[in-house]
Amino acid sequence: MIAHPFPPLYNQESKILILGSFPSVKSREEMFFYGHPQNRFWKVLSSLLGTEVPTTIEEKRVFLLSNNIALWDVIGSCDIVGSSDSSIRNVIPNDISEILGVADIKAIFVNGRTAEKYYKKYTEEKVGIKAICLPSTSPANAAKSAEKLVESWRVILQFL
């Protein structure tokens, strides 16, 4: 069983919450979200918001908070082989009520189908908010070009 090794990122000004499934090996090593250099998360958000792609963890923190974006993962701990979402077993979900209690979240988004699956299974009914599923920014989602991801993710802008 691997526990999620770092806390959520949010503040009182956060307007949207983006939930991944569980951090990759690289993200767990870096102790921050979307640490794999091939993951397109940072490029997609930067493109949408018209900013430089943040590179350091501190730049990423400032980028998210200054754009009213909260970030966490659906899964708090699980059995997982490497970074493979399909290998996830024995899920214990994160409790997002702390974030919802502090921030005035207008919408919840899930980054990919695995996050959607576990959100629906463990979290949706508890918090009473349906999540909007966005195509995964993972390099495993090679079917979606960067341009198509940016277009799909554009929906977040109406809530920021």
Write the pLDDT tens digit of every residue in 53-69.
Answer: 999 999 999 999 999 99
Q: What is the pLDDT of residue 30?
A: 95
Write down the pLDDT at residue 143. 85
139 band by pLDDT with thresholds 50, 70 and 90: confident
Q: What is the mean pLDDT of residues 22-38?
A: 95
129: Cβ contacts below 8 Å, ≥ 6 apart: 100, 105, 108
- DSSP code string of the chain: -EE--S--B--TT--EEEEESS--HHHHHHTSSS-STT--HHHHHHHHHT-PPP-SHHHHHHHHHHTTEEEEESEEEEE-STT-GGG-EEEEE---HHHHHHS---EEEEESHHHHHHHHHHTHHHHT-PEEEE---STT-TTS-HHHHHHHHGGGGGG-
pLDDT number for residue 56? 97
CATH number at residue 92: 3.40.470.10
Q: How far is Cα of residue 96 from the mean position of the Cα atoms in its chain? A: 12
pLDDT of residue 4: 97
Number of separate domains in the chain: 1
Mean pLDDT, residues 76-88 taken together: 94
Reported as a single tens digit per residue, the pLDDT across 98-135 is 999 999 999 999 999 999 999 999 999 999 999 999 99
List the domain range (segments joined by +) for residue 30: 2-159
d(CA 80, CA 91): 9
Q: Is the pLDDT of residue 140 over 90?
A: no
Cα gap 44→91, rounded to integer Å: 28
Q: Contact 26/85 with Cβ under 8 angstroms?
A: no
